[in-house]
Amino acid sequence: MSSNLAVDTGAAWLDERRSLEDMADEHRTAEDDAMDIVRAALSRLDDDPGALFEPDMLERIAEIRQRNAADWQRIRADAKAKKVQVSELDKLTRSVSSGDGSELFPVVTPWPEPVGGAALVRELSDTLRRYVICEPEVADAAALWIAFTWFIDEVHVAPIANITAPLPNCGKSTLLEFLETFAFQPLKCDGISPAALFRSMDKWTPTLLIDEVDTFLRDNEDARGVLNSGHRRNGFIIRVVGDDHEPKRFATWGAKALCGIGGIANTLASRSIRLELRRKLPHEEVENIRFMPADLANRLRRQLARLQEDLSSDVAKARPEPVPGLSNRSADNWEPLQQIAEAIGGEWPQRVRSIALVITRMDDSEQAPDVGTELLKDIKTVFEEKAVDRIFSTPLVNALHADSEAPWNTWNRGQPISARQVAAKLSDFGIKSKQIRIGHETKKGYLRQDFEEAFRRYLSAGTPARSETTKQRFGNSGLSAIRNETKGHRVSDGNNPKPLNQKGCFDVSDTATPFGDEELF
């Protein structure tokens, strides 16, 4: 009896599964049919310019827009190529609501007349400085970033707007509110879950605005990967969905603004344009953004919409030269803003280049190398200040510990970095310790020549220039004479250099191994 029940239950389950699969196949067939009909309408636009705007066609497009963001973007792109007023198509097919009957992304009707892009971006920047205390370069960068959000379909890189300040009450949330007022399809989503985050990006391609990002990322580590992946147009993540845990691709491409105190993760910072604010002085005054005239905000939004209509093809075709002096990633971040600048003309093609250099210098994340690069830089300093071409492992590690401002004294969970850990980091650059001879001793150590390739590749660009007088950083393991930039001369007197207050000169290892790792090298 029980076996018959099991068979019947299994058969019912299979019938239900087949029924669901048949429904899914029918749904996919209906989707394909709808897309084929729209493609046919697009193909005859030259003969019938109103083919896309028939009521039944608009209904199909609206369904596609809600169901499949990728297909909707293809329709938009094809319509633009056919000189269709895409803003009108946006308005007539928009049906996204916030759940209370109101529109999540209110329709912005383009300004009825052509607008001067250079003057519009300048007005945006000047308007921002009425409400936020910031450097002129920061305001100009924010204005260009706002314009970039309207051209998200025409660019290939989406730099994050990293709104930051060292302390509270510096205007960060006000700047975020300003971006929300003027950016394309703004979606402010404090406290959003990672799952809702990537689904929102996939469905709507909004301008994502996240406040208190330091708290947000601390509680949602997975969200960092989502934000990182949307830096380029083809960015996506894969997640399993449904009871069957089927893998599905979610597009994460889109504009994003992150607001918080202090620095953000290096992976996010390298994909960002840093908009750093400062606290206002007693004599500095700003207006309250809540009282921004409604007609001003409405006019600027409409003019941005018109600018997008008129210049979309110019922005898409712009191929600006990278700003000299920027790293590859930084140059990528500034590329879309340069595209906007070239399209609007006026002061902006040159202005954006100077802005990029100023903000890059202000950006601590650009100046702070990653751990591997920092280690290479400090080891290069050890070789230079000791004027040697080889060094044993223990004196090298001791020299790294000697700099109280470097991270190596507390690298190992509050303990100094060990020789083993130094070797592990250097192995990433293809550098290995080996048996070397110094004087009468032979031990594991490093040759300067083995570092030359890494020094050239990773320290030649962006390494801060050395001061005219070399710092005596390694007071416990070097020599007392201080060299200047003129080779062969000393700044100190003519006496022979004496070892400092350590156990000996740099090329003699201690008999004791302070961290227990020397035997491994």
* Residues 196-238 pLDDT 10s: 888 889 888 999 999 988 777 776 778 888 899 999 998 899 9
CA–CA distances in Å: residue 256 to residues 34, 68, 231, 240: 32, 21, 9, 24
Residue 34 or residue 367, greater confidence: 34
Q: How much of the chain exceeds pLDDT 90, in percent?
A: 46
H helices of 158-237, in order, are 172-182, 194-204, 213-219, 221-229
Give the whole-angstrom CA distance, residue 83 versus residue 50.
Answer: 12
State residue 510's pLDDT score.
Answer: 39
> What is the chain's length?
521
CA angle in degrees (0–180, nearest 5) for 277-283-285: 60
Is the domain of 261 the same as that of 330? yes
The count of structural domains within the chain is 3
Q: Provide the pairing of β-strand 434-438 with 160-165.
A: unpaired
Per the domain annotation, does 236 fall within a domain? yes
Per the domain annotation, does 98 fall within a domain? no
Across 118-127, 181-190, 243-252, the highest mean pLDDT is recorded for: 118-127
What is the average pLDDT across 128-132? 96
State residue 361's pLDDT score.
Answer: 78
Among 367, 394, 416, residue at a domain's last position: 367
CA angle in degrees (0–180, nearest 5) for 361-335-204: 115
pLDDT, tens only, 424-467: 999 989 999 999 999 999 999 999 999 999 998 888 654 443 33
Averaged confidence pLDDT in the chain: 80
pLDDT, tens only, 245-288: 889 899 999 999 999 988 888 889 999 999 999 888 889 999 99
DSSP symbols for 223-251? HHHHHHHTTBTT-EEEEEETTTTEEEEEE
Is the domain of 65 the same as that of 184? no
Among 320, 344, 367, residue at a domain's last position: 367
Per the domain annotation, does 102 fall within a domain? no
Per the domain annotation, does 336 fall within a domain? yes
CA dihedral sign, ordered 10, 11, 14, 15: negative
Least confident residue range of 140-154, 235-249, 503-517: 503-517
What is the average pLDDT across 407-423? 86
Is the domain of 36 the same as that of 178? no
Q: What letter would DSSP give residue 438?
A: E
Is the domain of 62 the same as that of 139? no
Per the domain annotation, does 351 fall within a domain? yes
Least confident residue range of 73-82, 99-108, 404-413: 99-108
Give the whole-angstrom CA distance, residue 129 versus residue 138.
Answer: 10
Where does the pLDDT of residue 132 fall: very low under 50, low under 70, confident under 90, or very high at 90 and above? very high
Give the whole-angstrom CA distance, residue 268 versus residue 29.
Answer: 40
Is the domain of 179 the same as that of 39? no
Is the domain of 158 the same as that of 273? yes
First-residue to last-residue Cα distance in the chain: 72
Per the domain annotation, does 61 fall within a domain? yes
SS3 272: strand
Q: 457: exposed, middle or buried (C-beta count within 10 Å: 0-12, 13-18, 19+)?
A: exposed
Is the domain of 70 the same as that of 169? no
State residue 386's pLDDT score.
Answer: 92
Is the domain of 426 the same as that of 404? yes
Helix 136-150, helix 348-362: angle, nearest 10 = 120
Is the domain of 409 the same as that of 512? yes
State residue 15's pLDDT score.
Answer: 57
Give the whole-angstrom CA distance, residue 252 versus residue 249.
Answer: 10
Per the domain annotation, does 32 fall within a domain? yes
Q: Where is 130: in which H helix or E strand?
A: helix 117-131
Among 327, 344, 367, residue at a domain's last position: 367
Is the domain of 342 the same as that of 388? no
CB atoms within 10 A of CB 117: 24
Per the domain annotation, does 283 fall within a domain? no
Dmax over CA atoms of the chain, in Å, equals 106
- What's 161's domain CATH number? 3.40.50.300
Is the domain of 377 the same as that of 351? no
State residue 179's pLDDT score.
Answer: 97
pLDDT, tens only, 366-387: 444 578 888 999 999 999 999 9
Domain of 58?
2-93
SS3 80: helix
Is the domain of 355 the same as that of 425? no
pLDDT, tens only, 290-349: 999 999 999 999 999 999 999 999 999 999 999 988 888 899 999 999 999 999 999 999
